Structure 1
Amino acid sequence: MAERIALYPGTFDPITNGHVDIISRAAKLVDKLVIGVAVNVGKGPLFSLEERVALVEAEVRPIAERAGIELAVRPFSTLLIAFAREVGAQMIVRGLRVVTDFDYEFQMTGMNYRLDSSIETVFLMASETHQFISSRFVKDVAAFGGDISSFVPKLTAQKTMAKLKGEA
């Protein structure tokens, strides 16, 4: 039987508990999960690409150990479908939180299918406790001194607050 390889792409600026939840659940479905950290300078990231890769690696290491799968975190700056091919993914995992996510993902899935119909897109619904969390909202709350500890993993909360205070 062929190894099941999935790609979970995102900007992860910063990684949230919602992202971690999707990664944990996707890890149960595949033999190898590649987390692709997108450059996406258009979003004006708080963290550099290298910082985001390091944070994601630190936060997901326990998931790989628990699930007993190979989990890799890799940066990418190419077309998503080209990166999926590069890592040998047969599927792209996407998380859905709200209806507006579906509109965007529906269009993206159609485009990706036209580019390579051999790579499926699999959607995982966000757990109800994480449906309202987005990296953008986390950064907004943190920028105004709000408590983000229930939205992001502990290390990410520390690094986000330090970054906003100019300490990192």
Structure 2
Amino acid sequence: MDNGLAHEGSVFINFRRYVPDPKEHGFRWVDIQQLRFPAESVDDTGLLAALIGHEQFRDDYAGGGVLLEGPRHGPYWLRLITPDIYEPVSQEKAVQILREWVDPLWDVPTGLEADLQREVFDRLVAADGIYYLSELGDEAIHDWGRVHDYFHEFVLIDRSVGQITLIVAADD
């Protein structure tokens, strides 16, 4: 348990599993972290702050995994990420962003579509709140933070099951 959140599990969807040729979307992936929050958690801002303070948030998503004292989160300096930079978005907007990232002109393999539906899109439907990490600007990009071509981050809050889910969809 860290900052009131308990890490429950994770899911990693690597497009390479479905698309053997890396030139055909093979470097795309989705990382999902599920954390349980206590029933007495009252507001979304507090939950976002707890997530930012959690060790699972200290991941640069560049292959090194979670670094307990890591100064980076994705392409950004961790110290510059605060709850107020997360923009509340509708389920429809979140789906649109993700579908455009997956690429509407591409016939998504059946297995990949099923995994995305179960692990990402079904979670969006269940969420009470969906937050999108806004673009932080060049000054927030860490020293080698441009390794990702795209970096989309969503935080889903599902109060009915007491769960906060961090979804990162990126390619490198």
Report TM bin, short chain. Answer: under 0.3
Kindly indicate which of the two structures has a greater share of residues assigned to strand.
2
Which has a greater percent of helix?
1
